A = this chain, B = another copy of it.
Amino acid sequence: MIFDLDDDKPREECGIVGVFGHAEASLLVALGLHALQHRGQEACGITTYDGNKFHSERHMGTVGENFTGDLTGRLPGHQSIGHNRYSTQGKPVIRNIQPIYADLDSGGFAVAHNGNLTNSRALRRKLVSRGAIFQSTMDTEVILHLLARSDQETVADRFLDAVRQIEGGFALVCLSNKKLIGARDPSGLRPLVLGKIGSAHVLASETCALDLLGADFVREIEPGEVVIITEKGIRTFFPFPARPARPCLFEYVYFARPDSIVQGRSVYEVRRKMGHQLAIEHPAEADVVVPVPDSGVPAGIGFSENSKIPFQLGIIRSHYVGRTFIQPSQTGRQKAVSRKHSPNGAVLKGKRVILVDDSIVRGNTSKRIVEMVRDAGAAEVHLRSASPPIMHQDFYGIDMAERSELLAANKTLEEMRDFLKVESLGFLSVDGLYRAIGIDRDDEKPQFADHCFTGEYPTRLVDHDMNQSGKDRQLSLLD
């Protein structure tokens, strides 16, 4: 069987970038999006305003495939926003690629959104009943319609009016003719940071984007904060009712790039310490520590450092992957083969292997990689997950399996060990994960959103409850 290891990873829906006050705004946004490409590769878009008109390009594929060449000519202007899409919401058609744009009475307005609104269907239903015509199936478009229909006077007030009505996980960058606006949901579920390059302001999902375009990190946008950037500078607002900040742990576990700084901590260092912690919680007698590349590498290094068991590349990752190959049907022996990862026999043969992965979702690919490692001659396989067991779905923009498909939600540890066919299996504990971050979990008021492990959701789930209670009309009748 042929498989992709990444098939069973959680998926994030977006990376966003905004630049205000730079002659090459679109080029900086493109570089920032390129640095954030790991957050979404399905599509990307950039919108600019040149003082007179808005310009926009939206394409399927990556930034490097689409936004090269004379960008400043194609997308002129000193202010720009951009978006990488992964995507849970809406089909992969051009009209569902962001930034989305509307000509409002007050002028043009564009929005790019990372996250997922938990009450967007309820809001959409209400708006349509009042005559709104939606051009996409994206939850993001709700924000535009709320803005268009607000009875507030100024664009700033209309925006605050609109975001007060939405719930869920969101980081937004928006562009009007005079403003770059950034916003983060009250729990801070989705990330957003502020930077500066010369006199220009930059907003981005992660610090690694600031690094690539040469901007200095200023600070994180705070949970619940709205910043409005104009020629006169930055104004800040907190339009939401006060609520404890609970940034999402998955940025540390999987999403953020290892060279990013999240909540003041190096992602690489946190992951390495997750490896330390894992070695403490689930040691094993073994000859070699082998990471599942690339995301398991820092925890693998950490595990090796703590256990003194040598770290080796027992699995090699290919950089060349295209569409899926058909499975050969008549090959003599049936072997687990991945078109993306290959076992390195010289490292594995006859060895007791500690296999370190960042997380286990459905478990199918973990099962196959264990089989692949064993086929390559490993004497024992001890599987270690650098994240706690994933027991619950996310509703804030992370695309994982349905609950019924989550391995840890449906099997005991022993059953999982049997299913995965490993000598031993260990998951980092929730407390251990907090410890890797450098704090103790406050069980009364947890400092992070850890609902996927604990079931403790930080917000209401309006659409989900509505959907559970009865049947929801389909979002669009157009196929």
User: Which of B22, B55, B133, B258 is the one whose CB lies under 8 Å from A313?
Assistant: B258
How far is the CB of A93 from the nearest CB of chain B, in Å? 10
CA distance A344 to B132 in the complex (A): 47
Residues facing B in A130-149 (CB within 8 A) are 130-135, 144-145, 148-149
Q: Which residues of A contact B (CB under 8 A)?
A: 22-24, 27-28, 30-31, 34-35, 37-38, 41, 53-56, 62-72, 94-95, 101-105, 107-108, 128-135, 144-145, 148-150, 177, 197-198, 208, 211-214, 257-259, 261, 266, 268-269, 294, 297-298, 301, 305, 310-313, 316-326, 328-333, 335, 337, 339, 342-347, 475-479
Instruction: Please state the number of chain copies in the assembly.
Output: 4
User: Which of B35, B297, B347 is the one whose CB lies under 8 Å from A342?
Assistant: B35
Whether B53 lies near A339 (C-beta < 8 A) is: no
CA distance A53 to B476 in the complex (A): 8
User: Which of B128, B133, B259 is the one whose CB lies under 8 Å from A132?
Assistant: B133
How far is the CB of A212 from the nearest CB of chain B, in Å? 6
Query: CB-nearest residue of chain B relative to A70?
Result: B326
CA distance A324 to B66 in the complex (A): 10
How far is the CB of A302 from the nearest CB of chain B, in Å? 10
CA distance A197 to B346 in the complex (A): 21
Whether B301 lies near A312 (C-beta < 8 A) is: yes
How far is the CB of A9 from the nearest CB of chain B, in Å? 13
> Given the complex, which residues of B lie within 8 Å of A310, measured CB to CB?
305
Whether B108 lies near A259 (C-beta < 8 A) is: no
CA distance A62 to B41 in the complex (A): 19
CA distance A177 to B473 in the complex (A): 15
> Given the interface contacts A323-B64, A347-B268, does A342 sit within 8 Å of B103 by beta carbon?
no
- In the complex, 8 of the A-B residue pairs with CB atoms within 8 angstroms, ordered by the A residue number, are A34-B320, A34-B339, A38-B319, A69-B323, A133-B144, A211-B342, A214-B335, A268-B346
> Given the complex, which residues of B lie within 8 Å of A347, measured CB to CB?
268
Whether A54 lies near B479 (C-beta < 8 A) is: yes
> Given the complex, which residues of B lie within 8 Å of A329, measured CB to CB?
24
> Given the complex, which residues of B lie within 8 Å of A259, measured CB to CB?
316, 342-346
Query: CB-nearest residue of chain B relative to A339?
Result: B34
User: Which of B37, B105, B324, B333 is the one whose CB lies under 8 Å from A129?
Assistant: B105
> Given the complex, which residues of B lie within 8 Å of A320, measured CB to CB?
34, 37-38, 41, 62-64
User: Which of B22, B261, B332 is the one whose CB lies under 8 Å from A197?
Assistant: B332
CA distance A161 to B29 in the complex (A): 46
How far is the CB of A204 from the nearest CB of chain B, in Å? 14
